[in-house]
Amino acid sequence: MAILIDENSKVLIQGITGKEGARCLKFMQDYGTKVVCGVTPGKGGQEVEGVPVYNSIKEALADFPDINVSVVFVPPRFGKGAMLEAIENKIPLINVITENIPILDTAYAIKRAKDEGVTIIGPTSIGIISPGKSKIGAIGGNTNKAYVPGNIGIISKSGGMSNETAYIFKNAGMGQSTVVGIGGDVVNGFSFKDALEMFENDPETHAVAIFGEIGGTYEEEAAEFIKNGGFTKPVAAFISGKFASNLPNVTLGHAGAIVEGNRGTRESKVKALEEAGVMIAEVHHELVDLIKSKL
């Protein structure tokens, strides 16, 4: 099954005529993802890599009514409008790759999405891949080096470390069911808890690896969810930022890496996760051995 995307996903790209949208379209096509069309206002009637371009999602849906995923590559100032257009047209999954969207714009769109039953992943997401089935966004690069079908779910705030985490499991002979880059902004549409809830209900996923970072409370929320019995499969986590407490007032990581008092510190995250029974890797590659010990 995997989660979020599979071989049946029908994908629309918002911002398909832009540099990043067009570049990632080719990566997605090469992987076999079914990108059926794109939207760029004012560019309707064009084609990019053989994919038709429309002026609006409404126009695109008239020709492709089975679209169920939108990937957003628009400039930051158009991010809110792009998300709202996808929400209003009932696209069930929106993966926002765009960075630097204003926080209030994102918060408004996420609230609207929740009201309409739409899932937003991102902003600043690297993308999603269900190996052997489909990939969206910029995730993977040369996907064959890191991604193979298997039973490990991976959730990461960091785009680059999504790839690195998949790579260490692949080198150990362990493939992935789905890898989700949730993004590292202060306000995100999709959390570790949300992903764990989906992985719990996915029979293809036997265990989950989490790459977390200082800042925010997503790891603590995931710990509470696990502690309350919401996730019952083996889970291991690596939380970066071990040395952050030694460098006060130094900016580290993504926009979401904001620490207030004891909230959002690596120590608070590790403590909460350990109390929930999560295995903690002190170095990144230990994730593999910890997961292996439970399978």
Q: Tokens for 44?
A: 């309707």
Assessment of whether the complete model's pTM goes beyond 0.75: yes
- pLDDT for position 140: 84
Same fold, 1-125 and 140-295: yes
Question: How much is the mean pLDDT over the chain?
Answer: 93
Residue 32 above 90 pLDDT? yes
Q: Tokens for 9?
A: 């996903």
- pLDDT for position 1: 77
Q: Is 112 exposed, middle or buried (0-12, 13-18, 19+ CB in 10 A)?
A: middle
* 164, 227, 283, 292 from 141: Cα distances, Å: 11, 36, 24, 26
- 55 C-beta neighbours (distance < 10 Å), count: 14
Rounded-to-integer distance, Cα 174 and Cα 149, Å = 8
CATH architecture of 1-125: 3-Layer(aba) Sandwich (3.40)
DSSP 263: B
Rounded-to-integer distance, Cα 65 and Cα 171, Å = 40
CATH of 140-295, one of 1.20.1530.20, 3.40.50.261, 3.40.50.620, 3.40.640.10: 3.40.50.261
| pLDDT tens digits, 160-204 | 999 999 999 999 999 999 999 999 888 999 999 999 999 999 999
Q: Residues 210-218: what's their mean pLDDT?
A: 91
Residue 24 above 60 pLDDT? yes
Residue 280 above 70 pLDDT? yes
Q: Give me Rg for the CA atoms of the chain.
A: 19
DSSP 16-57: TTSHHHHHHHHHHHHHT-EEEEEE-TT-TT-EETTEEEESSH
Residue 71 above 80 pLDDT? yes
Alpha-helical (H) ranges within 77-158 are 79-88, 103-116
Q: Residues 271-288: what's their mean pLDDT?
A: 97
Q: Residues 60-70: what's their mean pLDDT?
A: 99
3-class secondary-structure state, position 291? helix
Closest CA to 94 of 102, 112, 290: 112
Is 158 or 38 the better-scoring residue by pLDDT? Answer: 38
φ/ψ of 73, rounded to 5, equals -120, 20
Q: Is 292 exposed, middle or buried (0-12, 13-18, 19+ CB in 10 A)?
A: middle
- Which of the residues 206, 254, 284, 285 is marked catalytic? 254
Among 37-46, 80-89, 209-218, the range scoring the smallest mean pLDDT is 209-218
pLDDT level of residue 248 (50, 70, 90 thresholds):
low
Active-site annotation holds for 284: no
Is 7 or 242 the better-scoring residue by pLDDT? Answer: 7
Domain boundaries in the chain? Answer: 1-125, 140-295
Among 8-17, 81-90, 235-244, the range scoring the smallest mean pLDDT is 235-244
DSSP 242: T
| pLDDT tens digits, 113-134 | 999 999 999 999 999 999 999 9
pLDDT level of residue 242 (50, 70, 90 thresholds):
low
Rounded-to-integer distance, Cα 124 and Cα 108, Å = 16
pLDDT level of residue 230 (50, 70, 90 thresholds):
very high
Q: Residues 270-274: what's their mean pLDDT?
A: 97
Q: Residues 23-44: what's their mean pLDDT?
A: 97
Alpha-helical (H) ranges within the chain are 19-31, 57-63, 79-88, 103-116, 159-171, 192-200, 218-227, 266-275, 286-292
Taking each continuous run of H as one helix and of E as one strand, the counts in the chain are 9, 14
